[in-house]
Chain A
Amino acid sequence: MTVLITGVGAVAEEPRTDAGGAPWFDPAAHLGRRGWKYLTPATRYLLAAGNQALGRRHDDPPLTGAAAERFGVVTGTQYAIDRVHRRMDATLTGEGVRGISPAEVPGFSMNTPGSQLAISTGARAFSVTLTDPVTAGLGAVLFAVTALRTGRADTVVAAAADQAPEDHGGSGEYDAAAAVVLSARGRAPGSAGPGRPLAAVTGALSRFLAPDPDGEPAPAALGASAARIAALPGAAGAVRLVIDAPPAAMPLAVAVRDAVTKALADAGSTVPDADAAVRPGRHCAVSGLLELTALTARPDGGGPAVLISVSESGHLTAIRIDNAVRPEFI
């Protein structure tokens, strides 16, 4: 079965010098004038990216009936409740329990952004939230691909959203959301994700590579994981390799890049030097998905490419993509 990316969406804060200027994200521009006041920032970002990927407006009616039951959402996040939790904790210890606002309560659940996207779009196959630091965004793609292959849905939005712990990159991280619409080729997508295919996801996997005190993984485990990544289905030949990792995971990311480059060569693919990039992910759990949306927006269709998110704890998730049309003709 071929899994196609049929839509992408993204909103992302980027570093800038005028930190006191206008907010980087205007919810009214994305979501209209009403209906978002009590939603957390991460939820607003997610709705904006999800709607963009699905080619819908925020006030479009949700799917219903059989189409809704074949449509799922999976969302990655690592900081969905962080600010709400800190605010509520300060309120509780300062003002006492009466200071907690009812409007804020739904925001104190990691799944609330994803649930709001499911409610807004009518996703009834499932709405699952993954919360692994760094890797949850590409983890959402892996989850969606698996769910499509097992027949739990015909169309899935794999998304990620985070509000960084501090404003304007104060923690070294920035706000963002991204979403891709994935469909199984040949299955009726209903009214969700009707766009033309942008790319194909040909394989996905996740692994744990526990780093040693110097941040390096055990050589045998690294080699075994790299071999599995290189064995993900995909056409032989030149392949782009992109590693997304936060600054603290750089030693691990470089080791993964080198090992995967070698393993791909052993498997018959080549990674031109210019195409083996380690990117410092600064958008929390969204970074990997932002890389995926950027790849699929390229004029050449994004593939073939291997995209890997690596956390400082040694959790990695890899996605292999290719041009949308190629798998049918090889």
Chain B
Amino acid sequence: MTVVVTGLGAVSCFGSGTGALWEGLLGASRRPDPAPDVCGLPARPHLYAVPDGDAPARGTGRTGALLAAAVAEAVAEAGLSAGDLLDAGLTVGTSLGDIDLSERGAGTDADASVPPATHRVTASLAARFGIGGPGQTLSTACSAGAYAVGWGAELIETGQADVVVACGGDAFSRVAVGTLQRFGLLDGECCRPFDTGRAGMVTGEGAAALVLESAESARRRGRTALAELAGHGWSCDAHHPMAPEPSGDQLRRSAASALAGLDGAPGAAVLHRAGVALNDTVEATAIGEAVTAAGGSAGEVLGYAPKAVMGHTAGAAGVFGCVIAALVLRHGLVPPNAHVTDPDPQCPLTVPLVGPAPLPRPSVLVSGTGFGGNNAVLTWRAAA
């Protein structure tokens, strides 16, 4: 069964809307701001924050609110009616959910005897939009968004839903940022995944959403498909709770599974690449090898790392990757990679640096990796 995308939504450091996202990616200049002054840290780390005018106040279930904005945009673009949503599915990727509700000084009732249900975001979204079909919250760390999209497609492919809203979101968490800072995992300058001087990740806030639909349902509703899912593969390193398995064997396996749906190499790859040297190298090598095994060559794939200008949005990252893939297919362009002074020589993919590059073939790979070695790779092609 063919699964297509009929709606996109995003709220990011560029503001609300996929238009703002695309303009920001093309601009390739965004740098992070200091994190809110509630970190309890001697120096405020950086954060690619959603602008205050585009987000609710902190301590109000910020992730849920960001998700609601992204879902509203995607549902509107897809033209889904209240009747369409009654049996629609909802899959949400998030690491920490509404964690701000339980952080003292940032949340509203952190001292309550019963902790707030930080991961109630999915049921809340369902109630808000009148979504009544199947749904789950996936928290596979930083690949949660990629899994939410893949699982949403699985719900359609197995006949559990015709339409699924697949989304992901995460917002600022003092504990998350503080912990990353404590262990030297944050780059003090900005996120620069393709630069040899990279020194770690930089967190970002945001939410993204896709309306997934069977091609038959889209045709029946008279909607234009924005992209078509070509394949998706999952795997687990089963190696270490935090670090990737150095050989990248399992990531390569999931990439190979996703690439089986394409004829040859994808035109571009929206990488998970977050500025952590070992992880970046394992990922690019595994993707490159999988492309080669599929009959292409790594050098004919344009590699793109959006985290350079929007930070690591955790559970949202994989959904952002898929939204960006759809935008790349729509515009036929790959945005330039930002903040690169000395390009990483170990990346086998071609890395556009100056100006947007024409997409050589109408297909895009999206990869997601996370703590625990949770890998998910999806491939998209232009809709027929």
Q: Which residues of A contact B (CB under 8 A)?
A: 62, 68-69, 72-73, 78-79, 81-82, 85-86, 88-90, 92-93, 96-98, 100, 102, 105-106, 108-112, 114-116, 118-119, 121-133, 136, 139, 142-143, 146-147, 149-150, 152, 165-166, 170-171, 205-210, 221, 224-225, 311, 313-315
Contacts and interface: CB of A to CB of B under 8 A. Distances in A.
B236 A110 contact: no
B105 interface: yes
Contacts, number: 210
Contact of B234 (A119, A126, A171, A209): A126
A93 B104 contact: yes
A108 B40 contact: no
B208 interface: no
Q: Considering residues B114, B127, B133, B139, which has the most beta carbons from chain A within 10 angstroms of its beta carbon?
A: B139
Contact of B179 (A108, A147, A166): A108
A165 B140 contact: no
Given A69-B235, A109-B95, A130-B138, A115 B373 contact: yes
B148 to A, nearest CB: 10
11 contacts: A73-B236, A90-B104, A109-B241, A111-B141, A116-B241, A118-B238, A124-B236, A126-B236, A129-B140, A131-B139, A314-B123
B374 A110 contact: no
Interface of B is mostly: loop
Contacts of B374: 111, 115, 126-128
Q: Considering residues A88, A110, A146, A225, which has the most beta carbons from chain B within 10 angstroms of its beta carbon?
A: A110
A82 B236 contact: no
B297 to A, nearest CB: 26
Interface residues of B, number: 70
Q: Considering residues B138, B160, B183, which has the most beta carbons from chain A within 10 angstroms of its beta carbon?
A: B138
Given A109-B141, A126-B236, A127-B140, 10 more contacts: A62-B238, A88-B179, A98-B182, A111-B371, A118-B236, A119-B239, A123-B236, A205-B134, A209-B132, A224-B132
A205 B234 contact: no
Given A92-B174, A126-B234, A100 B182 contact: yes
A125 B174 contact: no
B67 to A, nearest CB: 14
Given A127-B374, A205-B160, A208-B132, A102 B241 contact: no
- 9 tightest Cβ-Cβ pairs between the two chains A and B: A115-B372, A313-B123, A208-B126, A210-B127, A110-B139, A127-B236, A131-B119, A126-B234, A106-B241
B183 A146 contact: no
Given A105-B183, A205-B134, A208-B90, A89 B371 contact: no
A86 B374 CA distance: 25
B75 interface: no
Contacts of A86: 102, 115
A315 B135 contact: yes
Given A119-B240, A171-B114, A100 B179 contact: yes
Nearest to B103: A89
B370 interface: yes
Given A86-B102, A106-B242, A210-B130, A112 B372 contact: yes
Q: Considering residues B95, B131, B183, B238, which has the most beta carbons from chain A within 10 angstroms of its beta carbon?
A: B238
A231 to B, nearest CB: 13
A133 B88 CA distance: 20
Interface in B80-111: 86, 90, 94-97, 99, 102-105, 110
A116 B137 CA distance: 20
Contact of A146 (B120, B154, B235): B154
A82 B97 CA distance: 12
B295 to A, nearest CB: 22
Nearest to A63: B238
Contact of B175 (A88, A136, A146): A88
Given A85-B102, A97-B40, A221-B86, A112 B126 contact: no
Interface string B143-165: 00001000100110110100000
